[in-house]
Amino acid sequence: MSVVLALVALVLFPGGLFVIFGSLAFEYADRKLVARFQNRVGPRWFQPLADLVKLLVKEEIVPVGVNRGLFNGLPLAALAASLTAALYVPMAGIAPAWGFRGDLVVTVYLLMMMTLCIGLAGANTQDRFSLIGSTRALTQLFSYEAPFLLALLGPSIAAGTWRISEVNGYAREHIWMIVTQPLGFLVALIGLMGKLELPPFDAPEAETEIVSGALTEYSGRGLAFFHLGRDVELLVGLTLISAFYLGGLGNPLHFILKTLVLLFVTAGLQSLFARLRIDQTVGLWWRAGAVLALVQLLLLIVLKILGVRL
């Protein structure tokens, strides 16, 4: 029986299909919001699904000079990593499908796989735009990853556990951590935008300079997997941040409301700024992001030692 339940959790709910369709819905909401902010009409509700199906049935062109195994395997690895990460977070506001002590660290690593795969995929081809794009993607990875991790560490230190479901439980019973740790929240949310290469952190795929960046050579299935993987990562990231900072997720209504509020904020940020150059991105993260996250963390540790209850 437990095998059946595990399979259901993996394939149907809360992992697998639910995450895929949920993330497509979030992509739609994101695109629609940005479009409305920019005074455009925006896509119809099924557009992300239509895009996915279109890409899946398109011919996949494998360029000359690539390692075929890597070329085909990387998109799968990226998607698989994001889907796996979805199992460890309180998706849809119910308890995570799977969890163990220290699963926060594993989830953060799984979320990093995406960028790593994109970087490798770009470096695998001989295309100049891809090469520059993958250099930028990896450079960006090194700049936001540490602050993002530190920002997620804050709530877990407050809760005294590295298990996501326990942090979630702690968050539900205490004052929202966005109030007690505003700096960490800011860094986490903007770090997620950096991870997903959303504007203004879209230098790795700046179309006016390097076409599509690392994914320039991808068409068809590979591109579909990368896009889907990124959507899943958006969903997982939003779930994680709202579970940690917005008072935890206890039921589906919490989940929908809190993640949509976050999505609204990120969509607003996406349409507010001009693209940062890669040197500006790195500068921003190390000069502001990392410092803010560290300050937050130090404050937290000091308060913890002093025995102040948060």
73 lines the binding site for other proteins (CB under 8 A): no
What does each C-alpha distance from 30 to 146, 153, 260, 266, 278 come to in angstroms? 26, 27, 9, 8, 24
Task: Check residue 197 and report its DSSP letter.
Answer: T
38 lines the binding site for other proteins (CB under 8 A): yes
Q: Give first-to-last CA distance, the chain, whole Å.
A: 41
| Pick 35 or 95: Cβ nearer other proteins | 35
The only residue of 132, 164, 183, 198 in contact with other proteins, by rule CB under 8 A: 132
Task: Check residue 273 and report its DSSP letter.
Answer: S
39 lines the binding site for other proteins (CB under 8 A): yes
72 lines the binding site for other proteins (CB under 8 A): no
282 lines the binding site for other proteins (CB under 8 A): no
HSE at residue 188, side-chain half, CA atoms within 13 A, is: 29
**What's the one-letter identity of residue 292?**
L
246-275 residues in contact with other proteins (CB under 8 A) are: 271-275
Q: C-beta of 307: minimal distance to other proteins in Å? A: 41
| Pick 2 or 39: Cβ nearer other proteins | 39
Note every long-range contact of 66-73, with CB atoms under 8 Å and residues 24 or more positions apart, other chains counting: 66/124, 66/125, 66/126, 66/217, 67/124, 70/120, 70/121, 70/124, 71/121, 71/124, 71/125, 71/222, 72/222
126 lines the binding site for other proteins (CB under 8 A): no
Q: Are 37 and 267 in contact (CB under 8 A)?
A: yes
64 lines the binding site for other proteins (CB under 8 A): no
The only residue of 44, 128, 182, 252 in contact with other proteins, by rule CB under 8 A: 128
Q: Are 282 and 143 in contact (CB under 8 A)?
A: yes
Q: C-beta of 196: minimal distance to other proteins in Å? A: 15
The only residue of 206, 228, 232, 241 in contact with other proteins, by rule CB under 8 A: 206
| Pick 40 or 101: Cβ nearer other proteins | 40
Q: Which residues bind other proteins (CB under 8 A)?
A: 37-40, 128-129, 132, 199-200, 202-203, 206-211, 271-280
